[in-house]
Amino acid sequence: MAILVSKDTRLVVQGMTGRAGTFYTDQIIDYGTTVVGGVRPGRGGTRHLMLPVFDTVPKAVAETDANASLVFVPAPNAADAMIEAIEAGIGLVVCVTERVPILDMVRVRHALNGSSTRLVGPNSQGLLAPGLAKLGVMSVDDATPGPVGIVSRSASLTSEIVAQATAAGLGQSTTVGIGGDPIHGVGFVDCLRLFMDDPETGAVVLIGEIGGREEEAAAAYLAEAKPEKPVVALVAGRHAPPERRMGHAGALELFGEGGARAKGEALRAAGAHVAPDAAGIVPLLQGALKGRA
Amino acid sequence: MNLHEFQAKEILGRRGVPVPEGQVAWTPDEAARVAREIRAPRFAVKAQILAGGRGEAGGIHFGATAESVGKLAGSLIGRTLVTSQTGAEGRTVRRVYVEAAVAAAREVYLAILVDRAKGGVALVGTEAGGGDVEARIRADPGLLATLPLEGLRRPDDAALRGFAGRIGLGGAVEAKATALMKALVVTLLELDATLIEINPLVVTEADDLVAVDVKMVLDDNALYRHPDLRALKDDDEADPVELEAQRHDINFVRMDGDIGVVTNGAGLGLATHDMLSDAGGRPANFMDIRTTATSLQIAKGIGLLLSNPKVAVILVNVHGGGMTRCDTIVEALGIAVRRSGRSVPVVFRVAGQNAGQARTMMVDRRIRHERVDGMADAAKRAVALAKGGRG
């Protein structure tokens, strides 16, 4: 078991025929993910990567029983693609597209209200359930199945922690990139809840960074829910100069949005094990898991 | 993309928001001429830089005559203004905005913005506007009244009237306030703005509303929909090195240390900085190589580090994945080192996709480097080399 995906996940890829879509879909199939088709308006009825291509998501769902979608559609049309999947009743939509206009994401969030869809992203590496399914663009070389759930705002740091964990003999249940954009789908709290309910996850790593309020929200959740499973957290950017844009559009300290130190303090006060730096996560994880065994 | 005050006022003025009469001036003479044309009893002379906090930093002055306006402009133009938002290096004032000064009976804070926590757009405001409002809101977020929009739908009149009442814009100014708010909503939605802030929104003795200062931020990701607005981009204040990096798909922030940092991904970049700083090092830059960057583009980014004489050591900390493979970084490093002809010690730490191949290539291509396999050890080694170089 993993969170968000299972062996019954049937994936359709929106934007499969493009350069990035082709490159990554090939790897995703290779990883063993059940990919049932692609969507590309105007290409319905053709085949790509030996899979059927459909004009619309509803058509793909009707023909293939797809229940998950991965969106590679370029930014100008990414929001419409996400909304199409949401309206088609797809249960899990993962969007890796970068640079989606923020007001488009307001529309997407509005479409999510009252729907049964969970959205991961945009501007996310996607999610990986090692040995089970890959719905994203991350490298899988270092990933291995195991008890650690990872939820992160950073793709590169996730890969780094996955590699360190695997080297220490700690596999992963699922890794989820919630995305670096200010407005996105599932957040830290959603994923923490899912990991706490997942019998195969024994501990959770939360990788946050400066900007936004989600680490604070995660801390409030942990303080309230007091989950039994240990949570190890890292908040990157303690030494970032304030009011400068550091890569992610979301990473702006504005209007009282928390700095890395305040976020780390909030998580520590809520019972999380806060790592001093990226090398400190795995030792804390080992200690926390040993304490429970 | 941040707009200058004068650009934001021109946009809002055209859309029916009352703004003081004013014009931009590049020289003291021009400023005096603008004052004569406007014919107000008193003038404001305001430094045009892309940062807030100008008032407290001495960037806004008042004069009663065209002569004094000219003098004030002369004292501002060419000066470096350090405000709470510019960092220690400040910003050079290249032009001023001269406008009719407005006598305020009251000052209100009103803004429309994208609220990331709620995932929506909201009007926000407080009846106690003015210079220190950000600090007061920071201390007590409850000061802000908010009116969230339903998706991207415009609020109805009743909702706007109710909101106006909550921020001190009811009664005699209610009709003017709701019209102004409608203009703000339409402007944000049509221009893909993420923030339009009026502070102060002045209520005069005659119950008129005037937007005395305006801040506007546009969504960079939506500029492709607004070619006309792209032309408003003022790169004069941007760091030329950072602009050059951006052109090559690399997010780059220049800092004043001596360790050049090559990292991919914002999170790994931030985490690398934390490690370097904790170990007593001083990064020369922040770098986030985007996954779409080619080896030639990355070479440009590394070249920017090599051309900085302060850089005493380069730390490569890359976790390969997706389309950024470790061997691509070596290609780039080789090109950049050959081009620069400068011999700077390189601490080389790679992991993830094609890391082994990349390490072999570094040796085969005889790129001088020290290989370190752990991230923390690499950071410490870079700090030690930088300190050695300094001593």
Give the separation between CA B108 and CA B125, rounded to whole angstroms. 7
Residue B277: closest CA among A260, A284, A251:
A260
DSSP state letter for B235 = G
Catalytic residues of A: 248
> What's phi and psi for A38, nearest 5 deg?
-130, 165
Within 8 A of B119 by CB-CB distance, chain A residues are: 105-106, 109, 183
Decide: B249 and B261 in contact? Cβ < 8 Å: no
Task: Say if the Cβ atoms of B265 and A156 lie within 8 Å.
Answer: yes
> Which residue of B lies nearest to A235 if distances are taken between CA atoms?
B271
Within 8 A of A251 by CB-CB distance, chain B residues are: 266, 270
Task: Say if the Cβ atoms of B265 and A157 lie within 8 Å.
Answer: yes
Q: Which of A142, A212, A234 sits opposite B116 (nearest CB)?
A: A212
The answer to whether the peptide bond before residue A122 is cis (omega within 30 degrees of 0) is yes
Give the separation between CA B166 and CA B170, rounded to whole angstroms. 8
Which pLDDT score is estimated for B389? 60
> Which residue of B lies nearest to A98 if distances are taken between CA atoms?
B221
The angle, 0 to 180 degrees and rounded to 10, between the axes of the packed helices A75-87 and A57-64 is 50
Task: State how far Cα B250 lies from the chain centre.
Answer: 17
Q: Which two tokens stand for residue B41?
A: 């009893």
Which pLDDT score is estimated for B88? 78
Task: Say if the Cβ atoms of B222 and A103 lie within 8 Å.
Answer: yes
Give the residue, A129 or B130, on which the prediction is more confident: A129
Give the separation between CA A232 and CA A217, rounded to whole angstroms. 15
Which pLDDT score is estimated for A256? 43
Residue with tokens 């590049």: B26
A6 touches chain B (CB under 8 A): no
How many other β-carbons are positioned within 10 Å of the β-carbon of residue B206? 8
What CATH number labels B239-388? 3.40.50.261
Cα–Cα separations (whole angstroms), residue A278 to A131, B161, B275, B379: 25, 51, 8, 11
Summarize pLDDT for B360-383 with one digit per residue, the tens.
Answer: 999 999 999 999 999 999 999 999
Positive/negative CA dihedral, A42, A43, A44, A45: positive
Quick one: A120 exposed, middle or buried, by C-beta within 10 A (0-12, 13-18, 19+)?
buried
Task: Say if the Cβ atoms of B274 and A238 lie within 8 Å.
Answer: yes
Summarize pLDDT for B269-278 with one digit per residue, the tens.
Answer: 999 999 999 9
B97 part of the active site: no
Q: Which amino acid is at B199?
A: N
B197 part of the active site: yes
**Chain A stretch 47-76, residues whose beta carbon is closer than 8 A to a beta carbon of chain B:** 75-76
Check B5, B99, B109, B242 and give the catalytic one.
B109
Give the separation between CA B50 and CA A64, rounded to whole angstroms. 53
Quick one: B89 exposed, middle or buried, by C-beta within 10 A (0-12, 13-18, 19+)?
exposed
Which pLDDT score is estimated for A291? 67
Within 8 A of A103 by CB-CB distance, chain B residues are: 114, 121, 152, 189, 192, 219, 222
> Which residue of A lies nearest to B152 if distances are taken between CA atoms?
A107
Summarize pLDDT for B15-24 with one digit per residue, the tens.
Answer: 999 999 999 9
Which of A124, A209, A239, A245 is the mutation pick for testing B, counting most B CBs within 10 A? A239
Q: Which two tokens stand for residue B56?
A: 């407290």
Mean pLDDT of B207-217: 95
Decide: A9 and A35 in contact? Cβ < 8 Å: no
> Which residue of B lies nearest to A185 if distances are taken between CA atoms?
B119
| CATH for the B21-101 domain, from 3.30.1490.20, 3.90.1170.50, 3.30.470.10, 3.40.50.20 | 3.30.1490.20
User: What's the pTM value of the predicted model, to 2 decimals?
Assistant: 0.92
Give the separation between CA A1 and CA A7, rounded to whole angstroms. 8
| CATH for the A126-292 domain, from 3.40.50.261, 3.40.50.2000, 1.20.120.1200, 1.20.272.10 | 3.40.50.261
Helix (H) or strand (E) segment spanning residue A166: helix A155-167
Residues 6 or more apart from B285 whose CB is under 8 A from it?
B252, B253, B254, B255, B260, B261, B304, B305, B308
Task: Say if the Cβ atoms of B152 and A110 lie within 8 Å.
Answer: yes
Give the residue, B235 or B279, on which the prediction is more confident: B279
Give residue limits of the domains in chain A. Answer: 11-120, 126-292
Q: Which amino acid is at A28?
A: I
Summarize pLDDT for B321-342 with one digit per residue, the tens.
Answer: 877 889 999 999 999 999 998 8
Q: Which of A100, A138, A141 sits opposite B221 (nearest CB)?
A: A100
Q: How far is B267 from chain A (nearest CA, A)?
A: 5
DSSP state letter for A110 = H
Q: Which two tokens stand for residue A60?
A: 């793909």
Helix (H) or strand (E) segment spanning residue A205: strand A203-209
Summarize pLDDT for B171-181 with one digit per residue, the tens.
Answer: 999 999 999 99
Q: Which fold has domain B1-19+103-237?
A: D-amino Acid Aminotransferase; Chain A, domain 1 (3.30.470)
Which pLDDT score is estimated for B121? 95
**Spans in chain A with pLDDT lower than 50:** 245-256
Give residue limits of the domains in chain B. Answer: 1-19+103-237, 21-101, 239-388
Q: Which fold has domain A11-120?
A: Rossmann fold (3.40.50)
Residues 6 or more apart from B186 whose CB is under 8 A from it?
B15, B154
Round the average pLDDT of chain B to a whole number and report it: 92
